[in-house]
Every structure is written in structure tokens, then in C-alpha cells.
Amino acid sequence: MSLCCALIYGALQYSPHDMLSGADDAAAKKVFPQSYMTGIVDRNYDQTGALKYQMIARSAATFTDDAINRSEIDHPHLTLYNPSNTAPWQLSANQGATLSNTITLLDNVQVWNEQGEYGQLTLTTDDLIIDTDEQFAHTDKPVTMRSERGTTSAVGLSAELDSGRIELLSEVKASYAPQ
């Protein structure tokens, strides 16, 4: 009799719905952002106070998971300033994500720069990962590079943006057409 009372008491205290609600709360925390911002202008400076980069975006949602913050960004546009005071690199995409000092640009990625004697250089790809501290960008996706001298396509790219050094990694094809 006391065993039956204990089972009934336990069933009333801990229903299956209550047992599952803890799991639902954990899942809900991962779905909803910790913060949401619109009309973003973010500037980052180096130790000497010089502007390193600026990011403008329509909106961003920040998620926190075990003390790691990551943000999902809508229509980011970055301007990376070079220490050598050459023309800054402009980068834009439909979507982006940040994690620490890394920005990943996704969907319709456009990168351009006025390279002086070569005119404007434009790169397009599907995704690009940028280390903002090192001003280093890379992708393993197809890339198209256009300048006044012609068009080059490749798969994969590594770029030291502060020095302007770009390495195309494989399947490089170029058409030279100076104007």
C-alpha cells in the first residue's frame, strides 16, 4: 500500500511534461539571441588609436553559448584600413558571422580596392573568412578576380590585405585584356 502511494505521489509530482520542459528551456536559449541590434556602425582601433576597420550592417543577432559570443549579421559592409595608408579594402556580403576576431562573409561576397597603377581590383566569391587582427582573408570556394587588365578565376584564395598580396590556390585561369 505504501509503495502504491509513493508511486502515485511520484507520478503526480514529476509528469513527463515537467521532465521534458528542462530540455525545452535549454533548446529555447540556443534559438533566441541574447541581443539584437539594428543600424550598426562598429569601429575597431589598434593600440596606437589608428582605425583598423569599420563595419556597417543592417542588423545583428548575438548568441552566447558557454561564454562564447557569436553574431549573425545582415548585409555587412567592412572597410579595412591599411597601416601603409594605401586605399582601404572594401568588403560586403548578404550575410555574415563573427566569432572573436574572425568575420565570415557569406552569399554574394564582393571585395574591392583601388590598387593605384592597376586601377580597381574586384573579387567575388561565395564565402570569405577574414582575420581582422592580421588583415588576412581566405576561402576554399571559387573566386573571380577582375581588374582593368583582365579577369582571373580560381578555386581558393589567401590574401594578406594589409600588403595587397593575393595568392590564388588552384585551377587558375586568366584572360588578359588591357584597356
pLDDT per residue over 29-69, tens digit each?
456 788 888 999 999 998 888 888 999 999 999 888 777 78
Give the containing element (helix H, strand E) for 30.
helix 16-31
Identify the residue with better confidence: 116 or 70.
70
Q: CATH 2.60.450.10 residue ranges in the chain?
A: 34-176
- The average pLDDT across 128-135 equals 90
Residues whose CB is less than 8 angstroms from the CB of residue 112 and which lie 6 or more positions away in sequence, other chains included: 89, 90, 120, 121, 122, 123
For the whole model, what pTM was predicted?
Answer: 0.76
Task: Spell out the CATH class of 34-176.
Answer: mainly beta
Least confident of 51-55, 76-80, 85-89, 140-144: 85-89
- pLDDT at residue 26 in the model: 53
C-alpha cell at 81: 584600413
